[in-house]
């Protein structure tokens, strides 16, 4: 049975691109669930993926950074309303707990964006014109306000990192985030974010 626009919007935004969490919303609706009764705890045991870069020196560790994330599935029928659902939106990246970037060293992403050593919560944003960005959020105010990744769309500010958007011939079944090595420059990688046939990229250069 074809997916209706309404259900597509719910599934797409709930699993990857919306501020909502499909799994949490479903569990919260069950009788006797923590969400339904306003009680807790709600306990998850879910595997997460990691993309990591490590540099070594003669003295030991020279630099290190990693992104950890949950992996929502992608369905090809999401593509029919892709622009309608993404343009002008700030969106959740991943599933369950925040997608996090932890870095021991300063990073330059793209041509102008810079991040200091520390931890960041990550989101995606697409402008009305279709320009994509990775948003690096300071976790501290979100912790203080108890903002789960469910509330990504309501967050403000953050460091905006422009991303290049392209489509691919092959499709991935789940969200994939990777640091791709640059054969000509060991001090640079390409950060690649993929879902379905959609690919977002930027360069990453650590200060070592």
Placement of tokens 């931890």 in the chain? 119
Q: Residue 77 gets which letter from DSSP? A: G
What is the extent of the structural domain holding 36?
Answer: 5-206
User: Percentages helix, strand, coil for the chain, rounded to the nearest 5?
Assistant: 25, 45, 35
| Full pLDDT tens readout for the chain, 208 residues | 444 444 334 444 444 544 333 333 333 334 444 445 567 898 999 999 999 999 999 999 999 999 999 999 999 889 999 999 899 999 999 999 999 999 999 999 999 999 999 999 999 999 999 999 999 999 999 999 999 999 999 999 999 999 999 999 999 999 999 999 999 999 999 999 999 999 999 999 999 9
**Tally of domains in the chain:** 1
């Amino acid at each position: 049975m074809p997916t209706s626009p309404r259900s597509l919007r719910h599934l797409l935004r709930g699993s990857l691109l919306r501020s909502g969490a499909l799994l949490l919303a479903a569990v919260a609706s069950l009788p006797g669930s923590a969400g339904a009764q306003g009680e807790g705890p709600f306990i998850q045991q879910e595997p997460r993926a990691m993309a990591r870069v490590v540099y070594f020196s003669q003295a030991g560790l020279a630099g290190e950074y990693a992104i950890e994330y949950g992996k929502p599935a992608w369905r090809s029928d999401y593509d029919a309303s892709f622009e309608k659902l993404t343009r002008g939106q700030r969106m959740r990246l991943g599933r369950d707990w925040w997608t996090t970037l932890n870095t021991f060293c300063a990073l330059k992403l793209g041509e102008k964006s810079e991040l200091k050593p520390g931890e960041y919560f990550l989101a995606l944003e697409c402008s009305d014109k279709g320009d994509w960005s990775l948003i690096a959020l300071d976790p501290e105010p979100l912790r203080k306000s108890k903002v789960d990744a469910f509330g990504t769309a309501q967050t403000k500010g953050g460091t905006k990192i422009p991303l290049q958007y392209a489509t691919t011939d092959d499709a991935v079944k789940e969200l994939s985030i990777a640091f791709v090595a640059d054969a000509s420059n060991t001090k640079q990688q390409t950060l690649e974010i993929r879902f379905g046939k959609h690919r977002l990229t930027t360069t990453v250069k650590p200060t070592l």
